[in-house]
Amino acid sequence: MYWYCGRSIESQTIELDLNDPGLLYGATVFTTVRTDKLSSGIYELHCERLRSSISDLGWCQPDWKQVRSGVKYLMLFPVLRITIFPDGRELITGRELPPNLATWQQQGVTVIIAVGGADPVENRQLTRTLPQHKTGNYLVPWLALQQARNSNIQEAILTNDRGDWLETTTGNLWGYRDGCWYTPPLSAGILPGVMRSQILELLQQQDLKVLEIEWTQSWVKDLEAIGYSNSVIHLIPIHTAIVPMGKIEYTAQHPMMKWLVASSSGTDLVTKDRAIG
């Protein structure tokens, strides 16, 4: 079941023109949102990011009433992916939450540093294209995640040509050390995640120190705790990072990380009520 171009479709397949740029080049923008957070204003934040990307790319805005109808129709799913094509067509699909989400949030996960070649020392760079937009061209994150999954590891971290940590294949990075939270800056070339902005707002509301700085290979070794966030999993701690020359271990049960996991998962971070209606 999915929603496409203003109507619901009971099928596991979709018909697209052979010359559709979404099919040929991944020319779409998308966002993923949990349906249990739609009434908190999260939905509108996701739509605002879609509108901004569509405007920046010079594409056609969709019929947003039609998009809202599709979202409401598919709210039986815990997670929705809203995809917009260059000509304004909307495609909305649903899926379940990750089955191990609760365990990962409690115990943390292992990550690897994604590499673009066979030699992890000589080739460290593997970054998303147009990182400021969530486009359908997700080949790099998919390849990186396959590297991780093939080694029975849950996630992978993308880096720049200097080896600085940028983001995971599915979320933004967070670190804690000596009373301060850290996250890579948008200028490093990362996605402006909706949950990232919400966590930043939460930390500021709680008068907690948070800095946006570059995560160099040497600097990350001194962090006490790290995790990654997105609008589906909220926040998951990372207990081990497999790096080219070994591994770095972090405290998944760090009190501040446990607090942030609970705060981002258990409360609606948007205070202004903007339900989808």
Give helix 194-205 / helix 255-266 axis angle, nearest 10°.
120
Q: What is the pLDDT of residue 206?
A: 95
Whole-model pTM over 0.95? no
Close Cβ partners of 136 (under 8 Å, ≥ 6 residues apart): 22, 26, 27, 28, 29, 30, 83
167: tokens are 């983001």
Q: What is the pLDDT of residue 121?
A: 45
Close Cβ partners of 41 (under 8 Å, ≥ 6 residues apart): 268, 270, 272, 273, 274, 275
Close Cβ partners of 125 (under 8 Å, ≥ 6 residues apart): 116, 159, 160, 161
Q: What is the pLDDT of residue 15?
A: 95
Strands 155-159 and 172-177: unpaired
Name the phi and psi angles at 135, rounded to 5. -95, 165
Concatenate the DSSP letters of all residues of 194-244 into one string.
HHHHHHHHHHHHTT-EEEE--B-TTGGGG-SEEEEEETTTEEEEEEEEEET
Q: What is the pLDDT of residue 116?
A: 64
Spans of the chain below 50 pLDDT:
118, 120-123, 267-277
* Angle made by CA atoms 113, 115, 117, in degrees to the nearest 5: 160
What is the set of domains in the chain, with CATH numbers? 2-95 (3.30.470.10), 101-266 (3.20.10.10)
Q: What is the pLDDT of residue 125?
A: 63
Type of residue at 101: L
pLDDT per residue as tens digits for the range 22-73: 999 999 999 999 999 887 788 999 999 999 999 999 999 999 999 999 999 9
Q: What is the pLDDT of residue 276?
A: 40
Q: What is the pLDDT of residue 269?
A: 46
